[in-house]
Amino acid sequence: MATLDQCRAALDRLAQNLSAADGSVRSAAALDRSLSCRITDLDVTFLGRLADGTVQDLTSVPGPPPHKAEIRLSMAGDDLIALVDGRLNFAKAWGTGRVKLEAGLRDLLRLRTLL
């Protein structure tokens, strides 16, 4: 089972990957939306903002998110690390229910480039 520090490091790597991206990936990540990532097996939620092509102001809170973010992810810590490391395909994980993603339809359409 992944630790809180490993999950935080994975989200930091994701932010770095987004900020270094170009083309359609960069434009898809250029949304300005609140973001939550619930790590179910650790009972913790990371909160932040997807803005300027990266994840900003990342913090963690115990338990479920205190408010409904515009983009909401939920998964086990090991799955987060596997996704960021490229060992787990997002579409397959989402389709099988290992990863949950909730967002408005317009945001989902823009985010599909990232997935």
Q: Which tens digit of pLDDT belongs to each residue from 6-38?
A: 999 999 998 887 777 666 555 655 678 999 999
**Mean pLDDT for the stretch of residues 65-82:** 95
Number of domains in the chain: 1
Q: Strand pairing partners for 54?
A: 51
Model confidence at 115: pLDDT above 60: no
Confidence band (pLDDT; 50, 70, 90) for 108?
confident
Model confidence at 81: pLDDT above 60: yes
pLDDT at 106: 83
- Which structural domain, as residue segments, surrounds residue 38? 4-111
* CA-based nearest residue to 36, from 90, 91, 63, 74: 74
Kindly report the CATH number assigned to the domain that includes residue 73.
Answer: 3.30.1050.10
Taking a C-beta distance cutoff of 8 angstroms, is the pair 108, 25 a contact?
A: no
pLDDT at 24: 59
